[in-house]
Structure 1
Amino acid sequence: MQIPGGPDGRRMLAVAFVDKAGSGLWGATAALYFTYVAGLSTAEIGLLLGVSGAVGIAGPPLGGLLADRIPLRPLLAAVQVLRAVASLALLAGTDLWVLLGIAAVGSLGDRASAVLTKLYATRIAGPDRSHYQAVNRTMSNVGWAVGGLVAAAALTTGTTAVYRWLLTGDALSFVAVALLTLRCGEPPSASRRVARGGPSASTGSGTGSGTGSASGTGGAAGAGAQELPAGAEARPARTTNPWRDRRYLAYTVTEIFLFLDDSVFKMGLALWAVTATTVPHGLVPLLLVLNNVLVVCFQVPFARFGTTPEKARGTLPALAAAFLAGGAALAASATDSRWLAATALTLAAIAFTVAEMLHATVSWELSVALAPPTAQGAYLGVHGLAQAAQRSAGPLAVTGAIAAGPLGWLAFGAGLSVICLAQRRLTRDDDETALSVPRITVSEH
C-alpha cells in the first residue's frame, strides 16, 4: 500500500504507533498510579484530572498559532520533549498541588501535540490527506492496543514498581517520537511563506479545497508553481483569523457534539450495560475490543467518503443515520431478555463505531478544507478545541442520557443526527464559505 507523504509520511505513521503505544501504557494505569503510588484520594484524583484537562484546552489553539509562525518540525519535537519531561516529573512527587501543576503542563503538551501532528500530516499528504488520516488512525489504534496489552500483562505482578516503569515507558515513548520527528523534513507552509512576503509555488501542502494538484509525496519540493490568486490578500479577517470567522467557529461548535462517540465508548456503553441491562458484565470489554477491531479493519476503506469536501458533506446524512441507529439500539437494550439486550448492545457498538469512522473521515477533510492555507495552523488549532471541549462536556451528556433512560438515548441519537444535517448546511459550498477560497499553494524554495 502506497503511503502519501513518502518517507516522511511513513515516519509519521511510526510516530503515531509509538505515541499511542506509550499512551496505552499510561492511559490504562493513570488512576491506579495516583491511587497506589502517589496516595491520592478519589476526590483528589478527580480534581487533578479535571483541572489538568481544563488547562489542556489551551493547547490546540496555542500550538496552531505557533505553527503558522515558526518551523513545524522542531516545534513538534519540542512539544514531545515537554510531554516526556512532564511524565518523568510525575515520578518525583506525591503532593497534590505539585502533581497538578505537572499534569497540567503534560495535558497542554498532549493537546498541542495532537493538532501539530494533524497539521504536519495535512501539509505532507496534500490532496491524499483523507487516505493518510485513515492509515494514521489505524496505526494509532494498533499502537494503543499494544500498549494496553503490555500494561495489562505488567499489572499482574501488582507491585508499585510496575506503575513507575509503565510511566517511564510512556515518557520514553515521547523521547522516541521526538527523535523520529527530527528525522522528518520540514513540510511546506503557506502561512510562513506569505508572512515573509515571498513568492508562492506548489509542493503538496493542504489546500483550501482539498483538490490541489501537487503530488503530496514529501515535505521537500514539488512542481506546478502557482502565484497567489488575485484578491487572495483582500480577505484578511476571514482567511487569516479563525476567531473572526463565524462560519468556522459555528462549524467547530457542531464538532463538539459529533465527537461524543468518544464518551459513549469511554463510559456511556459500560455504565448503561451494567446499570440498565441484563447482560453479563464481561460483555463490556468485548464491545470495546469490537470497536478497536472494526476501526483497524475498516478505517482505511472508509477514507473514500472524505476524499473531497463535496464527498465529505455528502457523507453527513449517513453519519446522521449511524448516530440515530446507535441511540435506538441502546434504547432497545433495556429489556429483560439477556440475548436481546446483548444483541442490541452489539448493534449499538457497531453503529457508534461506524459513526466514529465516518466522522473521523469527514472531520479531517472539512476542518482542513474550510481553513485557508495561509492560516492552517491557527484554524486547526481552533478546531482542536472541539475534542478538548467534548472531553469535558461529553461525560455530562452521556450520563444525562443514561439518567433519562431509553428515551434519553433516543433523544441523544436524534440530536446528533440533527447536528449532522445542520453541519451539512453550514459547510455548503457557496460564495460565503471558506470552501470557496481560491487555492493557495506554496514552496519553501
Structure 2
Amino acid sequence: MRITRGTRTKGTGTTPTTRTGRPRVPGGPDGRRMLLVALVDRTGSGLWASVSVLYFTYVSGLSLAQVGTLAALAGAVGIAGAPLGGRLADRFPLTRVLIALQLLRAVASLGLLTTDDYGLLLVFSALGGLGDRAASILTKLYATRVSGPDRVRYQALNRTAANAGWALGGLAAAGALAVGTTAAYRWLLLGDALSFVAVALLTLRCGEPPSPSRTVTVTATGTPAPAARPATPWRDRTYLAYVATETVLFLDDAVFRVGLPLCIAHSSDVPHGLAPLLMVLNNVLVVALQVPLARFGATTAAARTLLLPLSAAYALGGAALALSTTGGTLTAVALLTGAATVFTLAEMLHATVSWELSVALAPGAAQGTYLGVHGLAQAAQRTIGPLAVTAALATGPAGWAVFGGGIALTCVIQHRTVRGRLSRPPLSVPPVTVSEH
C-alpha cells in the first residue's frame, strides 16, 4: 500500500504547459485518452441521434405514437442510470464499471439493428438510455478524479472534444441521409454500436484513478481510524436543493432541441433552413470558447460568482426570443441568431459552474453517489424541458420573457443556496490516507 498526505497548491493564474510550450492536458496520458474517448463516443452518438426518428419510422416501420413512446421510455429509464452509475462507482473500480456500461450500450445498439419487433425495440432503447446516462456521469467522475484541482479546465477540454465529435457524426449522418437507402440507415446504427466498442477498448488502456471512497484514513500513530458511515445525498437538504435548481438551469438544452426549431417551424417569416444552422453555430461556439471561458470558474468561489452574469445571460436570451416574434423576416432571423448565441454563452457558463459546484458540494468519500444524484437534474430536464418551452411558445412573447426570467431568478436562488456550504472553513490539517492501489 502507498501512504499519501494531502497537499495544498495555489493557482498561479496561468495554464500549465509542457516543455514544448503547448498547454498541458490535466491527468497526463490517461487524461488524453479520455478526451479521445469523448471524441469517439460523441462521434458515434452524432451518427445516430440525428437519424434515430427517421430510422424507426422508415426502417422499423413504427407509427408516430410508437416512436414517441420509445423515446419517452428511453429517457425515463435513463433517469435511473445517473444515481445507479454513481453508486456503482463508489463500490467498484471506476474503469471496469465504465467498460461494462460501454459494452451495454454497444449491445443495445446492435439489438436495435437486429429486430423490428416493437417490444424488443422498447427493451433495447431502455437499455441504451440507462447506459448512456450512467456512462455520462462516470466519465465526469473519472475526469474529476484524474485531473484533481484542474478539473474545470479538463471538463472544458472534454466538452470541446465531445462537441467536435457531435459535429463530425452529424456531418457523416447528413451525407448518409443524402443517399437515403435502408442500408445507409443501418450503417449509421452499426457505426454507433462500433463506437461504443472502440470506447470500451480505449478505456481498457486507462489507469484506475485514486478514489476517496476506497482509501483508508489512519491516525497519527499509524492505526486505521474507525470507518465513518458514507454520506448520502438523499439526506443532504442543501445538495438536493442545489440539484433542484440545476434542473431549471439545464433548460438551455431544451431551447436548442425543441424551442428554437419550434419557433422557426411556426413562423411564416423565418426560413426553415435556419434551424440546423443555429445548431452548427452552437457547436462551433462551444468548440471555440468553452476552454477559454472555463478559466473564469477555475475555483469554487469564482464558479459561484459566475452565477450572477449567468443570470443576466438567461434573461437576455429570453428577451431576444420574445422580441423575435414581433418583427419581420430580417428582424426575426437576427433575434433568433442572437438568442442562440446568448443561450450558447449561458450553456458554456453553466457547464463551468456546474462542473465545479457539483463536486465541491460533495464529500470526497461519496463523490460517485453525489454526482449520480446531480445527474438526475439533466435527466429530469429532458422530461420537463420540452413542456416548458412549448408552454412559452404557446403563450407568446410574454411566455419567453417569463421563461428567461425564471431561469435567471433560479441562478440567484442557487447563488444563495450554496453560500452556507461553501463558506465553511476547510480543515487546517489534511488527513493521512492509505491508498488501496
TM-score (norm: length of structure 1): 0.89
Q: Tell me how far apart the structure 2 counterparts of residues 306 and 76 of structure 1 sit (CA, whole Å).
A: 28
Identify the match of residue 125 of structure 2 among 103, 122, 128: 103
Alpha-carbon distance change, 435 to 286 in structure 1, aligned in 2, over 3 angstroms: farther
Alpha-carbon distance change, 33 to 434 in structure 1, aligned in 2, over 3 angstroms: farther
Residue aligning to 1:418: 409
Q: SS at the partner of 1:279?
A: coil
What is the identity, as a one-letter code, of the residue corresponding to 2:373?
V
Residue aligning to 1:152: 174
Alpha-carbon distance change, 408 to 178 in structure 1, aligned in 2, over 3 angstroms: same
Residue aligning to 2:13: none
Please list the CA deviations of residues 275-302 of structure 1 after superposition, one character each: whole Å capped at 9, or x if unmatched: 1462222222221111111111100011
Q: Tell me how far apart the structure 2 counterparts of residues 303 and 121 of structure 1 sit (CA, whole Å).
A: 15
Are 1:303 and 2:294 an aligned pair?
yes
Alpha-carbon distance change, 186 to 398 in structure 1, aligned in 2, over 3 angstroms: same
* Residues 320 and 417, structure 1, Cα contact 8 Å, conserved in 2: yes
Q: Tell me how far apart the structure 1 counterparts of residues 132 and 359 of structure 2 sit (CA, whole Å).
A: 21
What is the identity, as a one-letter code, of the residue corresponding to 1:149?
L
* Residues 218 and 432, structure 2, Cα contact 8 Å, conserved in 1: no
Please list the CA deviations of residues 66-99 of structure 1 after superposition, one character each: whole Å capped at 9, or x if unmatched: 1001100111011100100111011121111111
Please list the CA deviations of residues 30-60 of structure 1 after superposition, one character each: whole Å capped at 9, or x if unmatched: 1111111111111001011111210111001
Identify the match of residue 249 of structure 1 among 222, 240, 252: 240
Alpha-carbon distance change, 368 to 287 in structure 1, aligned in 2, over 3 angstroms: same
* Residues 277 and 333, structure 1, Cα contact 8 Å, conserved in 2: no
Q: CA deviation at 1:361?
A: 0.2
Alpha-carbon distance change, 441 to 390 in structure 1, aligned in 2, over 3 angstroms: farther
Identify the match of residue 162 of structure 2 among 137, 140, 143: 140
Are 1:367 and 2:389 an aligned pair?
no
* Residues 21 and 146, structure 1, Cα contact 8 Å, conserved in 2: yes
What is the identity, as a one-letter code, of the residue corresponding to 1:354?
L
* Residues 373 and 440, structure 1, Cα contact 8 Å, conserved in 2: no
Which segments of 5 or more consecutive residues in structure 2 lack a partner in the other structure? Answer: 1-22
Are 1:165 and 2:187 an aligned pair?
yes
Identify the match of residue 8 of structure 1 among 16, 24, 30: 30
Alpha-carbon distance change, 435 to 257 in structure 1, aligned in 2, over 3 angstroms: farther
Residue aligning to 1:184: 206
Please list the CA deviations of residues 324-359 of structure 1 after superposition, one character each: whole Å capped at 9, or x if unmatched: 000000111112322111111111111100100000
1:45-444 alignment to 2 at 5 Å?
A: 45-193=67-215, 197=216, 199=218, 236=229, 240-276=231-267, 278-428=269-419, 430=420, 432=421, 438=427, 442=433, 443-444=435-436
* Residues 401 and 408, structure 1, Cα contact 8 Å, conserved in 2: yes
Please list the CA deviations of residues 164-186 of structure 1 after superposition, one character each: whole Å capped at 9, or x if unmatched: 11111000000000000010000
* Residues 61 and 385, structure 1, Cα contact 8 Å, conserved in 2: yes
Alpha-carbon distance change, 435 to 267 in structure 1, aligned in 2, over 3 angstroms: farther
Q: Tell me how far apart the structure 2 counterparts of residues 318 and 233 of structure 1 sit (CA, whole Å).
A: 42
Q: Tell me how far apart the structure 2 counterparts of residues 66 and 329 of structure 1 sit (CA, whole Å).
A: 43
What is the identity, as a one-letter code, of the residue corresponding to 2:120?
V
Q: CA deviation at 1:273?
A: 2.3
Alpha-carbon distance change, 166 to 98 in structure 1, aligned in 2, over 3 angstroms: same
Q: CA deviation at 1:101?
A: 0.8
* Residues 369 and 434, structure 1, Cα contact 8 Å, conserved in 2: no
* Residues 217 and 432, structure 2, Cα contact 8 Å, conserved in 1: no
Percent pairwise identity: 62
* Residues 38 and 161, structure 2, Cα contact 8 Å, conserved in 1: yes
* Residues 371 and 434, structure 1, Cα contact 8 Å, conserved in 2: no
Please list the CA deviations of residues 183-210 of structure 1 after superposition, one character each: whole Å capped at 9, or x if unmatched: 00000001122xxx4549xxxxxxxxxx
Q: Which structure 1 residue ranges, 4+ long, deviate > 6 Å from structure 2?
A: none
What is the identity, as a one-letter code, of the residue corresponding to 2:323?
A
Alpha-carbon distance change, 257 to 277 in structure 1, aligned in 2, over 3 angstroms: farther
Which segments of 5 or more consecutive residues in structure 1 lack a partner in the other structure? Answer: 201-224
Q: CA deviation at 1:27?
A: 0.4
Q: Tell me how far apart the structure 1 counterparts of residues 248 and 213 of structure 2 sit (CA, whole Å).
A: 30
Residue aligning to 2:47: 25
What is the identity, as a one-letter code, of the residue corresponding to 2:257?
K
Alpha-carbon distance change, 41 to 437 in structure 1, aligned in 2, over 3 angstroms: farther
TM-score (norm: length of structure 2): 0.90
* Residues 254 and 386, structure 2, Cα contact 8 Å, conserved in 1: yes
Figure out how many residues of one structure are paired with residues of the other and give that number: 411
